[in-house]
A and B are shown apart, each in its own frame.
Chain A
């Protein structure tokens, strides 16, 4: 494994902050495929950092025991926003900026914009396929899923189904995505999958283990790794198109108390939670599933304002068992 700093700058106290890339080279002169794993754009999303740890540990061991398994190249960027991760905050602390809104176009010359552009250039020049790991924010808990913008699904679905996620959500396009790393890599023809899993500032070992199997499978599927023994076991995902996702929102300001965890088979009418008045004994809203399906998002943050998302359900296809 080779380490290289792709972004480096000095802090006010004279120390250096570095964004490190770990590379596992191919035994072939022309690698089969070059795959990148990126995590920590948002410093409060820790699931991907743990996943990068699992991947690095596995690949280091594999390189020692079976160096010939590496027919392609793997680049791991475990912590691309080190200062935000150190503070456990979504935004880059000193600048209060979301680095995942700094990609593409002429974004000015702020340090976050410079770092975003150096990361994007490095990825564009060194990989064919990228996986950008995100957890959810502090408000929502998400089942392991890949979000693909409508229009890119033909290109990305064949890769996404290899990743052992519970759900692939083909998401309506919106200008908001145009300043993200995922969008700009896909524009540059680096096939990029954006994974969302878990909740901010927490780890879910079960989700990480599941995604770890998925990432190994992706590396085999793309020919980056060969002959490592038995293939990882993966399950097929639910695939939901924009019209097949129901968003449940709060109608009131209050406290949301969840009654259900993420679950594959929520029944129509099942209670997902309640919105309560914080000041009197009143139950303001009973939140129930409008249809049966896969409850893949549930609210974790109890404070809600009107319009707050409480849950998402991937509706079961009519006619499917």
Chain B
């Protein structure tokens, strides 16, 4: 079902219509909510939602004969629609970070009304997934973000595919994010972050799509008569395991590594060259071994900026199951 859950008229142009897509099987036991486009330029997530919508419509129409709906699945593909339509992360009218507007206010300004509608429609779900990509200027290897996951959330995370989970920054601003509102409401949830803003990586999305379908099977809202649910190994990294590589100078950053690769201590991750002369002025090195989860994508850098985030292996070997 396609539903307009909020329609905000505009002074002149078309209204901002916030859409929710949902599918129900019987008996309804559980609801899984999937939310994308909290930032207007997080395109992989929005595209992934369209893949899911097409697939679940086919399941509902019995064109995907092996699959049966057993619960409720709801997808809100583009939360910050005004910013998406502008081609920006933020909507220029208010310059507000939509992910600092939760739980929102249905009597407030546009961003607050949208946040309130998204939160109200998802807060009573049994599982939640937020689809993001890296912040502006960065590229993320596919990974999950979750805070103090309990065993249920860990198993949920293991159904999605990416091999690493990180903890979010523990900042006061986190309290205003949809993810934090969900966890405060005891909704087992994860953020799935992959790729870079302003880009749509179809091959990456196909991999993530398979993981999302697997996670729906794991939750039981979707059943496949032939397929068994897969359980993938996930390393749950804490913040202390994150090692940063910083820019020692401003200039062009010419990278030598790829996100998702294993990096050795002392390995050169790139070079910073003077923007006029091309002279190498800094050769940033990895300070430890680790999995390269986030890498600078935009080549223009300021001194002191983060160029790479490495997930250092924990001392104790992990036990994925």
Contact = CB atoms under 8 A, between A and B. Distances in A.
B301 A105 contact: no
Contact of A111 (B135, B170, B173, B304): B304
Contacts of A307: 107-110, 112-113
Interface in A247-290: 249, 252-255, 278-279
A111 B302 contact: yes
Contact of B107 (A14, A249, A255, A304): A249
B171 A114 contact: no
A271 B251 CA distance: 56
A276 to B, nearest CB: 10
Interface residues of B, number: 45
Contacts of A90: 95
Contacts of A179: 171-173
Contacts of B231: none
Interface of B: 8-12, 89-90, 93, 95, 97, 100, 107-110, 112-113, 135-137, 169-176, 239, 244, 246, 249-252, 274-276, 300-306
A265 B217 CA distance: 64
A13 B250 contact: yes
Interface of A: 9-14, 90-91, 94-98, 101-111, 114, 175-176, 178-179, 183, 249, 252-255, 278-279, 303-309
Given A105-B169, A114-B304, A255-B11, A11 B175 contact: no
Contacts of A305: 8-11, 109-110
Contacts of A105: 169-174
B172 A10 contact: no
B181 to A, nearest CB: 10
B6 to A, nearest CB: 11
A14 B100 contact: no
Contacts of A255: 11
A109 B171 CA distance: 12
Contacts of B12: 278-279
A109 B95 CA distance: 22
Contacts of B169: 105-108
B172 A110 contact: no
Nearest to A256: B11
Contacts of A95: 136-137
Contacts of A96: 89-90, 95, 136
A104 B244 CA distance: 20
A178 B136 CA distance: 24
A91 B107 CA distance: 25
Given A98-B95, A105-B172, A307-B110, 19 more contacts: A12-B252, A12-B300, A12-B301, A14-B249, A14-B276, A96-B89, A103-B172, A104-B171, A105-B170, A105-B173, A106-B169, A107-B171, A107-B173, A108-B171, A175-B175, A178-B175, A179-B172, A279-B12, A307-B113
A94 B301 CA distance: 10
A10 B274 contact: no
A182 B249 CA distance: 31
B305 A110 contact: yes
Nearest to B112: A307
B109 A308 contact: yes
A14 B273 CA distance: 10
A188 B108 CA distance: 31
A90 B90 CA distance: 13
Given A108-B169, A307-B112, A10 B89 contact: no
Contacts of B301: 12
28 contacts: A9-B303, A10-B250, A11-B250, A13-B250, A13-B276, A14-B249, A14-B274, A97-B97, A98-B95, A98-B97, A102-B173, A105-B169, A105-B170, A106-B170, A107-B171, A110-B305, A175-B172, A176-B100, A178-B172, A179-B172, A179-B173, A253-B8, A253-B9, A253-B10, A303-B93, A305-B8, A307-B109, A308-B109
